[in-house]
């Protein structure tokens, strides 16, 4: 029997930020059932896989995706070395703060920004750029670090599931390489359990050192239809729990729900008061 692990040592509420109600009860029932040997819904430890979307589920996604804020900051930071950007679209939209022009440029426009700023470098250099930004950049409305704009109830849920031997993955439309550098520190999720969008990388020897160079070619858009693709590629087996907040999570939730046995599927709606 493993039921003694469902709550912490003092038997305290493992989800103190959650209102008592149907949702909280569904979660704790699911965890009790899947982790109690002899229960018809029992799931052995290697199959306890839980997925969390990131933007809007674990941290804020308004007024814009955090990774977009990072990209725009990167364009502004590098612009002084590239005077030609002032007359090149879509780069000039960023420098002129023309968000409507940028939106009209769509995904191809964003890929051009990416190619100009965050490609052609090693994966190591990119990780350092992410680290430096995430440690200083602040959310425009909340005026706190983005990593402080995470939802406390979800942190509790990650911890609760982990304490019950679930392997927790972040499955994000954002970049794998954007989330990995801080995922363990902020969410307690190790780098290798971050499944996200990615660019192709290319192996090279640089001054006798092997490196991976980020290319502007898309490897995977891990959103919508792409989420089950990423989940299957990285994990290879059906998850038993999934948490999302938007249309881009629909296929991930369907994919998770389609397996046999007990499943926990949750579409979360946050209010600002839940932030950490």
The arrangement of strands across the sheet holding 241-244 comes to: 209-220, 194-206, 167-175, 49-52, 241-244, 264-267
Burial readout 51-71 (b: 16 or more C-beta within 10 A, e: otherwise)? bbbbbbbbbbbeeebbbbbbb
Work out which of 191, 221, 265, 267 binds its own copies, going by CB under 8 A. Answer: 191
Q: Pattern of binders to its own copies over 6-45, x per CB under 8 A?
A: ----------------------------------------
Is residue 203 close enough to count as binding its own copies by CB under 8 A? Answer: yes
Strands (E) located in the chain: 49-52, 167-175, 194-206, 209-220, 241-244, 264-267
Q: Which of 21, 38, 40, 46 binds its own copies (CB under 8 A)?
A: 46
Contacts of 47 (CB under 8 A, 6+ apart): 237, 240
User: Does position 207 bind its own copies by CB under 8 A?
Assistant: no
- The single residue among 140, 190, 217, 272 that binds its own copies, judged by CB under 8 A, is 190
Verify binding: residue 228, its own copies, rule CB under 8 A. Answer: yes
Angle of helix 66-78 relative to helix 123-134, nearest 10 degrees, comes to 100
Tell me which residues in 100-159 interact with its own copies (CB under 8 A). Answer: 123
Measured from the CB atom, is 11 or 210 closer to its own copies?
210
Give whole-number Cα distances, 34 to 47, 193, 259, in Å: 10, 21, 14
> According to the binding rule CB under 8 A, does residue 254 interact with its own copies?
yes
Task: Compute the distance between CA of residue 118 and CA of residue 214 in angstroms, rounded to an integer.
Answer: 8
Tell me how far apart the alpha carbons of residues 197 and 27 are, in angstroms, rounded to a whole number.
28
241 closest CA partner among 225, 264, 224, 260: 264
Minimum Å gap between C-beta 70 and its own copies is 18
Q: Is 202 in the site for its own copies (CB under 8 A)?
A: yes
Contact pick of 23, 88, 152, 198 for its own copies (by CB under 8 A): 198
Among 18, 126, 151, 255, binds its own copies (CB under 8 A): 255
Under the binding rule (CB under 8 A), the answer on residue 229 touching its own copies is yes
CB 200 within 8 A of CB 92: no
Binding of residue 93 to its own copies (CB under 8 A)? no
How far apart, in whole angstroms, are the C-alpha atoms of residue 30 and residue 41?
8
Residue of 212, 262, 265, 267 interacting with its own copies (CB under 8 A): 212
CB of 212 to its own copies, least distance (A): 5
**In whole angstroms, how large is the CA radius of gyration of the chain?**
20
Site for its own copies in 148-187 (CB under 8 A): 176-177, 180, 184
Per-position x/- string for 230-249, each x denoting binding to its own copies as judged by CB under 8 A, each - no binding: --xxxxxx------------
Q: Is 97 in the site for its own copies (CB under 8 A)?
A: no
Residues lying near its own copies in the complex (CB under 8 A): 46, 123, 176-177, 180, 184, 190-192, 194, 198, 200-203, 205, 209-210, 212, 219, 225-226, 228-229, 232-237, 251, 254-255, 258
């Amino acid at each position: 029997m493993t039921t003694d692990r469902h709550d912490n040592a003092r038997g305290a509420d493992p989800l103190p930020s959650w209102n008592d109600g149907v949702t909280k009860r569904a979660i704790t029932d699911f965890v009790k059932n899947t982790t109690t040997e002899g229960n018809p819904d029992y799931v052995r430890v290697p199959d306890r896989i839980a997925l969390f979307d990131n933007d809007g589920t674990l941290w804020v996604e308004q007024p814009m995706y955090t990774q977009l804020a990072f990209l725009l900051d990167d364009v502004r930071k590098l612009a002084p070395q590239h005077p030609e950007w002032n007359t090149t679209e879509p780069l000039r939209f960023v420098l002129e703060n023309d968000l409507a022009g940028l939106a009209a440029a769509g995904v191809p426009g964003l890929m051009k920004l990416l190619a100009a700023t965050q490609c052609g470098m090693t994966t190591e250099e990119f990780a350092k750029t992410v680290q430096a930004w995430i440690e200083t950049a602040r959310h425009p409305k909340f005026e706190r670090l983005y990593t402080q704009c995470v939802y406390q109830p979800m942190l509790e849920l990650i911890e609760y599931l982990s304490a019950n031997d679930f392997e927790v993955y972040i499955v994000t439309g954002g970049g794998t390489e954007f989330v990995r550098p801080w995922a363990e520190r902020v969410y307690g999720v190790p780098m290798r359990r971050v499944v996200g969008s990615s660019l192709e990388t290319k192996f090279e020897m640089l001054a006798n050192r092997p490196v991976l160079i980020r290319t502007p070619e898309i490897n995977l858009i891990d959103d919508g239809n792409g989420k089950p693709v990423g989940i299957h590629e990285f994990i290879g087996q059906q998850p038993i729990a999934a948490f999302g907040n938007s249309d881009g999570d629909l296929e991930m939730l369907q994919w998770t729900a389609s397996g046999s046995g007990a499943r926990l599927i949750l579409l979360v709606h946050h209010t600002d008061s839940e932030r950490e």
